Structure 1
Amino acid sequence: MTGPDAAPPTAIDTSRPHPARVYDWWLGGKDNYPVDEELARKILAADGTAVRGARANRRFMHRAVRAAAGAGIRQFLDIGTGIPTEPNLHQVAQEAAPESRVVYADNDPIVLRHAEALLRGSAEGRTEYLHADARDPETILARAGESLDLGRPVALSLVALTHYLGDGADADDDVYGLVERYVARLAPGSFLILSQVTQDLSPDGVARAAELFRRSGTPFHPRTLPEFRRFFDGLELLGPGVIPVHGWRPEPEDVAAQAEGVVPVYAGVARKP
């Protein structure tokens, strides 16, 4: 999927920040540019939860993938992959089940540059990357279907993605319809893994962060608990349900991290009946 049939990458624009590279800076990565660091620092000054949230999101992804693998899922589709940070999703999945197949999708050219690292999976499994936009489910699913058997259960990971997509008549995106289109194509028994920034738990800080993102040219849409729960309509939520991200099946490091302060992120995992 990174070969001749892959979508051609566009040039990396270093004149404006990109959310994947801002996120990379918060995680301590080095695959970002001064413009990304500038925005990341501004947001962190406006909302002191930003770094905690980025780290909590990664740990949630690890726990959710292990839960899916423990339930027998052997296929994973991660959309909005972001810049690789170890352990990546395929490493977590293939550690639990070496035969797991993983497809990553992202539209940031800098992520494409790291595809070779993403593709180093287990010998028993398969790991692929495709350069595509999350708002084009037909293309992503068609190309993912070259590596995944969409007639069998898949875990769809949309971690820290939906708050960059809008909804409603005045928005460019229809995030609820978009998620529904992905889920509709998945086989019964598939999983949906989601996390989303909310103002519920840190109203002022998240409002300031959202405004900084918007001023930089990146749409940002925090959602309330009822709005986040809507993503799981018609699905069977796994325990403990929709909950602040630290509390979703926490491990010792997550319990310890809760002492650092609030993280305004909701998380949930659900099964398609």
Structure 2
Amino acid sequence: MQILITGGTGFIGQGLVKQWLTRGWSLTVLTRNVSKWQQTLPQVRWFSHWDELGKDENWDAIINLAGEPILDKRWTEQRKASLLASRVGVTQNLYQYVTSLAYMPKRLISGSAIGYYGFHPPEVELTEDSQPGQDFAAQLCVAWEQAADEIRQLGIATCCVRTGVVLGHGGALQKMLPPFKLGLGAPIGTGKQIFSWIHYDDMLACIDWLLQNPNICGVINATAPQPVSNAEFAMQLGKVLHRPAFCRVPATALELLLGREASAMLLQGQRVLPKRLLEEGFTFKYPDIASTLSHLLAQH
């Protein structure tokens, strides 16, 4: 297969690239640092500007996962602009490129996030049919999906994947481990907020499965079927690491660190269910948080 990827050097993208290379697929990946990645993965065709690609390319699929990390800095106006540019801007550039092609790509899988739904009380169940929220993260996802929809309207079978917190070797889990290993891990705020997550292997499997099932279009929630409260997650993580997790991280501490808007993503939550994945027959290898953490942290 001939696949064009944005976000191929990110947490999820790198896993997909390595997996698909083992199948002998031809991968072309957008990056800001061509020289670095050429040395790391010379089997991949790397590019940094769209005009480096020809108009006669014949792509089987485009995987659009580009986006800067959302919680690594405070959300200043400048940071919000960067987050928009790295998602919406890249997708708009992709649209411009696709319109120049002689051959229309067959498939587009484009990123989004469960932040689309905004924040909800623990008892509210959210599926792909639920309405968007009003906060910045929700509006970012709405704009991102709208940009992808412009590409869909060109006649490409398109799927937008609203991803939960991906738990794997790296990413969010890696940042959580140090305090838990020291016995300082704890629920955040009240701990009642719902944590919608997905195992890294299931995330890769989901995108690969969607790629090979181009009849499945529209929105997909990429979350495990058993979301948990933040307190339950902290308890299970502490249990796997054989460390206590009884104290609480005060909400005010997070608000001081990240600002009120960004900290809300950790202090509030949403119970997001993978309704369409289950209906379409996707099988989760790690459906529950206990088996997921045990698998990921077995060596600890």
TM-score, structure 1 as length reference:
0.42
Larger Rg: 2
Length-normalised TM-score, structure 2: 0.38
